[in-house]
Amino acid sequence: MSDLINFPGEPRAVAADNVIADKPMRLRWGDWRTHKVLQAHVGAAAAYEDQRREFLSRGQSPAAQMPPGFELDGGEKDTALALLRFRGDEGKQRRLMLLAVLTEALISVPCAILRTDLIRRVYQQVGELSRELGHRWSGDCQRLLPPLNEDAHEPDFLAKALINIDNLREFFDTATRIADERYQKMAKSYVFYYPRGFSA
């Protein structure tokens, strides 16, 4: 995996009391009261952490401040909570992303391969990964992959990548590539903030 982008400023710009993990992904506790998980770009998170440190140094609560980012709910939140549960295991986090890609494809991508009896092989792979990781989504599961800023330009990126594939090997290879690329981008360029006190 490529190196993480360091927070700007001081070498230890983050107050240690909210750090869950720095690697393989940056995971933090949020000070605000919300049930949602917040996903912030590293630049916005760094500015927030600087501001947070200033509040704490003055003995004030930073709970009224939040970095700009994506509020995750539904299936995206479930995926982020699973990333927290697997916080020390990059391999499981990567397999979770593959499971999310395959499951979201089954839910919302009108792919040629998923209109044949080969769909059983995809369901089999989803079942195996789900059992291995002990993970299933509940509630609103239209979107399972945590978003990236670039998705605003191409919100149907998954459908575009998979829709014309009619070969099972190519389908799994493409799904794996998408999962790996998104995982690397999230690990390098994003910070996840969780409701304080949540235990996975």
Segment 41-58, tens digit of pLDDT? 999 999 888 888 888 888
pLDDT of residue 70: 94
pLDDT of residue 7: 53
Q: What is the side-by-side strand order in the sheet with 70-72?
A: 19-21, 26-30, 190-195, 37-41, 70-72
- What are the b/e assignments for 169-183, b being 16+ CB within 10 Å? eebbebbeebbeebb
Q: Is the pTM of this model over 0.85?
A: yes
pLDDT of residue 92: 98
pLDDT of residue 147: 95
pLDDT of residue 14: 43
pLDDT of residue 23: 93
Q: Backbone dihedral region of 109: left (phi > 0), alpha (psi from -120 to 50 degrees) or beta?
A: beta
Task: Report which DSSP code applies to 38.
Answer: E
pLDDT of residue 2: 47
pLDDT < 50 positions in the chain: 1-2, 9-15
